[in-house]
Every structure is written in structure tokens, then in C-alpha cells.
Amino acid sequence: MKSKQTGQIIYVALFTLTLSGVLGAFALSLFKTSLTSTTNNYHATVAMNAAISANEYNLHKLFPHNSANYSCATVPSSVTFKTGNLSGCSIASTCQENATTDQKMFSLVSTSNCTFNEFNISKTVKVNTKVEM
């Protein structure tokens, strides 16, 4: 006697292939999202490091080791990085000075503007310091 075949295995195979395709597409989407997130985080960190570096440089200019003449006039208003990881970043800096009879207070603000491919990231760092007279 011949058994009657119903072709159920074709439906199972199609379902398995479809499910594998959907799961594969989902995994690729998660990988791309994770990679984009990591890249954005890296670029934001570079922009923050550029602003921090600018403030450290400005503090060095504000408080030179061979002079006691502290003035915001010695702080550059802009810096552009041309090499290394900070290339593509430009910095705008401001310095405000408030003096009293017994102290000088300085406020340094550096804003980095970094361009990476189509991304433009900006970070701002502020440092307040004072000198007793």
C-alpha cells in the first residue's frame, strides 16, 4: 500500500528559512546600531578632550611660570588642531577677569567644534580659578 504524502516538510522548511532571515536581519541591525553608538561616543570624547586641552593650554598661558603678570590678554581666543586625533577640531575660548583688592578671579570657557565626516559635535568646558594678591 502506498502512503499518502502531504508535503508538510516544505512548509516547515519555508518557515525555518524565513525565521532565520528575520533573525539575521535583526542581528545585523543591532550590530549597526551598536557600531554607530560606539562611533558617536568616540567622537564626543574627542570633542570633550579638545575643549579640556584648550583650557589646560589657556591656563598655561594665563599663569606662566616665569611671570606674575596674570591677564586674560595672554589667552588666545581660538585654536585649530591640524594633526592627530584632534584634527578637524577648532576651539573658541573666552576669558573673563574680575579683580578685587585682595584677589583676581578668572573664568575660562573653551568650546570645541569638531567635524567628523557628516557629524558636527560641540562641547564646552568652563574653569574658574582665583589668585590671592
Retrieve residue 107's grid coordinates.
573664568
Structural contact between residues 114 and 41, judged by C-beta atoms closer than 8 angstroms: no
What pLDDT sits at residue 12?
85
What pLDDT sits at residue 109?
95
Contacts of 14 (CB under 8 A, 6+ apart): none
* Residue the block writes with cell 590671592: 132
Q: How far is CA 82 from the centre of its chain?
A: 17
Retrieve residue 16's grid coordinates.
525555518
Structural contact between residues 113 and 89, judged by C-beta atoms closer than 8 angstroms: yes
Q: Could you give the CA distance from residue 9 to residue 76 in angstroms, rounded to a whole number?
A: 75
Mean pLDDT over the full length of the chain: 85
- Choose between 132 and 94: higher pLDDT: 94
Q: Could you give the CA distance from residue 112 to residue 55 in angstroms, rounded to a whole number?
A: 10
Enumerate the domain spans of the chain: 8-132
Amino acid, single-letter form, for residue 12: V
Q: What is the pLDDT confidence band of residue 111, given thresholds at 50, 70 and 90?
A: very high
pLDDT digit string (tens) for 25-81? 888 877 777 767 777 788 888 899 999 989 999 999 988 888 878 888 888 898 888
Structural contact between residues 43 and 114, judged by C-beta atoms closer than 8 angstroms: yes
Q: Could you give the CA distance from residue 33 to residue 49 in angstroms, rounded to a whole number?
A: 24
Q: Could you give the CA distance from residue 118 to residue 106 in angstroms, rounded to a whole number?
A: 36
Q: What is the pLDDT confidence band of residue 124, given thresholds at 50, 70 and 90?
A: very high
What pLDDT sits at residue 1?
55
